[in-house]
C-alpha cells in the first residue's frame, strides 16, 4: 500500500484561520477537525485523545509545484512554491543538516515556505507544524516534522529508525532512542500523550477518514469577518 501525508497542523484559532484563509493557494485546502464523533479511533474502540480547544487546523496536501495528484488517492495538491515568509527569519533547512540526518529534497519544504510558517506562528502566538509521512508497501519511507512555537523557536523531528528520532534545533542536535515523530508533534499541539515511543492511532491518517466533512469555507469566513467589521463601523 502507498500512503502519503503532507500536512500543516495548528490549533484552529481565529488568528490562524485568518492567515491561512488569506494565503492562496493554501486557502483552498483548509480543514478544521473540531470533533471526532462517528470516526473510528482504533480497532479496540479506544477513546480519542482530546483535540485542541479550538479544534485542529489541517491544510492538506501541501507539496512542491513539480508534483501532481497524490499517488494513492488522486486528490489534487496545493503548492508551497509561492508562499514566502520574511527573508530575515532563520530556519532549519535540509542544507543545514549536513550529513547527520537524511531528508529527501523531493518532500522537504524550501526555506521561504518554512519562514512563512515560522512568521505565522509568531504572529498568531500559536504552534504551527509541517508534517510529512510517506509509506510504500506498508513500510515508512520517510517521516519528519518542522515545529514552530510562538517564542520563535523551531525544531525538526526526523524518523531515523523504528523508535529513533533525530531532533534538530538552532543550537543542538540529539537522537531520542524511544520516540515517535507523530507522538511528539501531537504533544507539541497540546494533545497530551503518556507515551511518545509508540505512534498513536490518529484518525486523519486513515484512508477512510472523511475529509469532506471537515473542509473549511474560507470564503464564508472572510465574508463573515467583513460583515462584522462593517457592523462595528456602522454601530
Note the pLDDT tens digit of each residue in 27-63. 999 999 998 877 755 544 555 666 888 999 999 999 9
Distance CA 145, CA 8 (A): 9
Q: Say whether pLDDT at 225 is over 70.
A: no
Q: Say whether pLDDT at 67 is over 70.
A: no
User: Where is mean pLDDT largest: 49-53, 106-110, 230-234?
Assistant: 106-110
By residue count, the chain amounts to 235
Which H, E and C letters describe 150-202, residue by residue? CCCCEEEEEECCCCCEEEEECCCEEEECCCCHHHHHHHHCCCCCCCCCCCCCC
Note the pLDDT tens digit of each residue in 144-199. 999 999 999 999 999 998 889 999 998 889 999 999 999 999 999 988 777 788 78
Phi, psi of 133 (to 5 degrees): -150, 125
- DSSP structural state of residue 26: G
Amino acid at each position: 500500500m502507498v500512503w502519503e501525508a503532507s500536512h500543516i497542523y495548528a490549533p484552529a484559532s481565529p488568528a490562524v484561520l485568518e492567515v491561512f484563509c488569506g494565503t492562496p493557494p493554501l486557502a483552498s485546502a483548509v480543514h478544521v477537525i473540531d470533533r471526532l464523533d462517528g470516526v473510528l479511533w482504533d480497532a479496540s474502540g479506544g477513546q480519542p485523545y482530546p483535540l485542541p480547544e479550538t479544534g485542529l487546523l489541517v491544510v492538506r496536501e501541501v507539496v512542491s509545484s513539480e508534483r501532481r495528484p497524490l499517488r494513492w488517492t488522486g486528490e489534487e495538491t496545493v503548492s508551497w512554491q509561492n508562499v514566502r515568509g520574511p527573508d530575515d527569519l532563520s530556519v532549519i533547512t535540509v542544507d543545514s543538516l549536513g550529513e547527520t540526518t537524511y531528508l529527501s529534497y523531493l518532500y522537504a519544504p524550501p526555506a521561504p515556505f518554512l519562514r512563512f510558517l515560522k512568521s505565522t506562528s509568531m504572529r498568531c502566538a500559536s504552534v504551527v507544524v509541517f508534517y510529512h509521512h510517506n509509506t510504500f508497501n506498508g513500510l515508512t519511507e520517510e517521516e519528519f516534522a518542522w515545529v514552530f512555537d510562538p517564542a520563535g523557536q523551531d525544531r525538526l523531528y526526523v524518523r531515523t529508525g523504528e523508535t529513533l528520532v533525530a531532533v534538530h534545533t538552532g543550537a543542538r542536535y540529539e537522537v531520542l532512542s524511544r520516540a515517535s515523530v507523530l507522538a511528539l508533534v501531537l504533544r507539541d499541539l497540546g494533545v497530551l500523550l503518556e507515551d511518545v515511543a509508540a505512534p498513536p492511532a490518529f484518525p486523519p491518517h486513515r484512508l477512510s477518514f472523511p475529509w469532506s466533512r471537515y473542509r473549511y469555507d474560507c470564503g464564508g469566513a472572510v465574508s463573515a469577518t467583513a460583515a462584522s467589521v462593517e457592523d462595528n463601523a456602522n454601530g
